[in-house]
Structure formats: structure tokens, C-alpha cells
Amino acid sequence: MSLPASFLAAAGYTTPPLWRILTKSGYFMGLSGAIGATLTYAAAVRPTLRSGVGGSGDTEVLRRRAARYLAWSGVVLLVAGYFQLAARVARAGHGTAFDSALTPTRIWTFLRTPAKPGTWVAQGTLTLVQNLVLVATAVVLISLFTARVGRRLDTVALIALPLSLATTLISAIPTAAFADLDDLLDTLLVQAHIISGTVWVGGLALLVALATTRRALSGDAGVLWADLWRRFGLVALICVGAVTISGLWLTWKAVGTLPQLWTTTYGLFLLVKIALVLGLITAGGFNQFWLMPRIAHARRADATSSLLHLTLRHFPRVVWVEAALGLAVLGILPFLTGSARTEAAPDSPAPTATAGILALGLLLVLTLAASLYATAKVSDTLARRPVLRSRGI
């Protein structure tokens, strides 16, 4: 997306430098690979492989591909984490250029910065702990490159999962007490947005990688994949709920009025992100209401050929689109700097959550939970219908 320089200047928007765009997008890709892949493996892939619904040969093919994918996720996390740390050093001030911030001496100086008055711990110390956990996560995942460790994939994934979650959660620990309830909610909902988003995008990417093994799978692998898609559907629904609720809060904080979505640069980038997320939700709805019922019908009818075609032809194509949309969302994130409020009115005070706002938020949570439950029930009802037209499969 290209915007005229005159518009950017008039709106008070500062375009992030290229190094900031690349490091931030890369870091969230690294988190998606670590958090999303390990959680999806633990919640969907592992239970499916252990359920006994597929042949041992198909199970072994998917297990090997999952181990290799998680190992490469560790490599990406390690590299992205290093560049993100350098970017933090460069953003810390003192006129440090990004290329200078890449040097270990600059990084170590930043990590040893003493705590400021009124704080319980130095920011550099928290950053050091966070990056030590990041390195530990990467090392655990990278160890899957060895055949001996790869045979213990389940154990390694379950170790890496809490470590990868801690990588982002540690960054949210405040160096001083929370100023108010808004400050606490901001921190919690930002982390909910990050974790649910990375699980969603990272899980899709893992399943895309696993689906490329279809040539090595047997003709009976459709049953295995039907169970895998069903389990990930539940994970995706939870992510949709968390992304929506946290996203609404963050949008309320960043956007003062509806016109600010198209009269500020921040708002325009946010509109692009919202459109991409809606595309993800639409594709997920297509899976829930069209593909999953047909997969369930083919499975009950023991239609091996149709089941294999649906699970390893039609479904992966939609997931490819979802994964591409998810990566596009990560590409937009670095451009969401500042807020539409401050662009429109630099002295505009930040909104404060009142009892009414919190009550409305609770109502939205309950409404969304009910709608997601209804989505799952409708999909299940469609799957139980005795006859489904198979035209177009």
C-alpha cells in the first residue's frame, strides 16, 4: 500500500523505517511458528496421531514432517528474535543506528541499563530474561533436527509450548505497578491478541506444511485428516473469539470516531488489517458450513475417495488462502504505529473504561461466545444431515 508523502506529513504519521518493518513482521512470524505450531500440534495434531484413526505409515509421515517444521520454526524464531532485540536497542534512543545496534556490545550495554527510579526491575533485565527464554525455546525446537530427539516429538513440543508462550508474556511484565484498571486491561488484551493471532496464523501454516505430504500418504489418510481438520476447527473458533474481543478493545483505544478510519493513515492501515481478518473469518466460515459437513458425510458413508479429495485437495486450498491472508496481516502490523486519535487530535486524551464500557464489553463477550457456540452447533447439524449433495466436490 502506497500513500502520498504529503498526506503522511499532513496526517502526522511517521512511516516506520524499513528495518523496523522487517524486524517486527519477522518477529511475529517467528512467534507464529513457535507458539502457533506448538499449540496446534499439542491441541490438534498430537491427539489425532495418537487416536489410532489412521494407518501407522500415514501417522509416521505426518510426525516426521511436523518434527521438521517445528525444528525450522526454532531457527526462524532465533534469527527473528536477534533482529528484534537489535531493533529494541535502536529504538531505545541515544541515536543508535540499527546496524550499530546489531553488535553484541551495544546489545549488552542496553541489557545492563540500570532500573529507573520508581521501578522494581530494569527494562533491560526483563528483556534479557525474555530473550534467554526465547533462545531456550529455539534450542528445544532446533533439537528436533536430530533423529533421536525427533522420536520424542510429543515431549519436545509440550516443553516448547510453555516456553514459547513465556517469550511473549514476559515482555508484558511491567517494570512498575499498573497505573489503573485500563493499564491492566491493555496489557492483558494485547497479549490475548498476540497469542490468539499467532496461534491462528501459525496453526494454519503448520497444517499447510503437513498437507504437502499427501503424495506420501495412503488412500485411507482421509479419515486421519478429517479428524485433524475437525480438531483444528475448534482451535480456530477460540482464536476468532479472542482476536475479535481484544481487537475491538484495541480499536476503541486507538480510534476516536468512525471517520478516523479513513481520514488518518493509522485508520487506513487498520482498515486493511480488518479486511484481511474478515477474509480469514469468511474462509473459516466456508470450512465450517460447507467443507466440514461434507467431510463428515463422506466419512459416515465410508466414501474413501471423496473423503481423501475433500481433506487433502479442497480443504488445503482454502487453508492456503487463509495462511496467505494471515501472513499479510503480519505484514501490516509494523505500520500500525501511534493511533488514529493522536493523528486527528494530538492533545486528545486517551479513553477510559467506565462501568458502562466494561458492562458493554462483557455483553459483547457473552454474545460472541453464544455466536461461536451456535456456529459449531450449526456445522455439527449440517454434518448430521442424512443426505448432502456432493455436486462440486
Q: Are 330 and 29 in contact (CB under 8 A)?
A: yes
Supply the pLDDT for residue 314: 79
Supply the pLDDT for residue 189: 93
Supply the pLDDT for residue 72: 97
Percent of the chain with pLDDT over 90: 53
The closest of 43, 32, 27 to 70, measured between CA atoms, is: 32
The terminus-to-terminus CA distance of the chain in angstroms comes to: 36
Domain boundaries in the chain? 5-384
Supply the pLDDT for residue 11: 47
Instruction: Indicate the pLDDT class of residue 260, thresholds 50, 70 and 90.
Output: very high
Does position 389 have pLDDT exceeding 60, yes or no? no
Does position 391 have pLDDT exceeding 60, yes or no? no
Supply the pLDDT for residue 386: 58
How far is it, in rounded angstroms, from Cα 51 to Cα 139?
Answer: 29
pLDDT tens track for 93-108: 766 789 899 999 999 9
Supply the pLDDT for residue 222: 83
Does position 164 have pLDDT exceeding 90, yes or no? yes
- Of 169 and 289, the one with more pLDDT: 169
Does position 160 have pLDDT exceeding 90, yes or no? yes
Instruction: Indicate the pLDDT class of residue 297, thresholds 50, 70 and 90.
Output: confident
Supply the pLDDT for residue 302: 66
Instruction: Indicate the pLDDT class of residue 127, thresholds 50, 70 and 90.
Output: very high
Instruction: Indicate the pLDDT class of residue 276, thresholds 50, 70 and 90.
Output: very high
Average pLDDT over every residue of 118-143: 94
Supply the pLDDT for residue 2: 42
Supply the pLDDT for residue 180: 82
**Residue in this structure with the C-alpha cell 486493511, named with its chain if needed:** 272
Q: Are 140 and 163 in contact (CB under 8 A)?
A: yes
Half-sphere exposure at residue 393, Cβ-oriented, CA atoms within 13 angstroms: 21
pLDDT tens track for 364-385: 888 888 888 888 777 777 766 6
Does position 169 have pLDDT exceeding 90, yes or no? yes
pTM attached to this predicted model: 0.89
Q: For the chain, what's the residue count?
A: 393
Supply the pLDDT for residue 3: 45
Average pLDDT over every residue of 337-346: 87
Average pLDDT over every residue of 220-233: 87
pLDDT tens track for 16-73: 999 999 999 999 999 999 999 999 999 999 999 988 776 778 899 999 999 999 999 9
Q: How far is CA 122 from CA 101, 103, 111, 183, in A?
A: 19, 21, 9, 19
Average pLDDT over every residue of 303-313: 77
For the chain, give the mean pLDDT: 87
Supply the pLDDT for residue 39: 96
The alpha carbon of 237 is separated from its chain's Cα centroid by a whole number of angstroms, namely 13
Supply the pLDDT for residue 354: 82
Supply the pLDDT for residue 372: 81
How far is it, in rounded angstroms, from Cα 366 to Cα 53?
Answer: 35
Supply the pLDDT for residue 383: 65
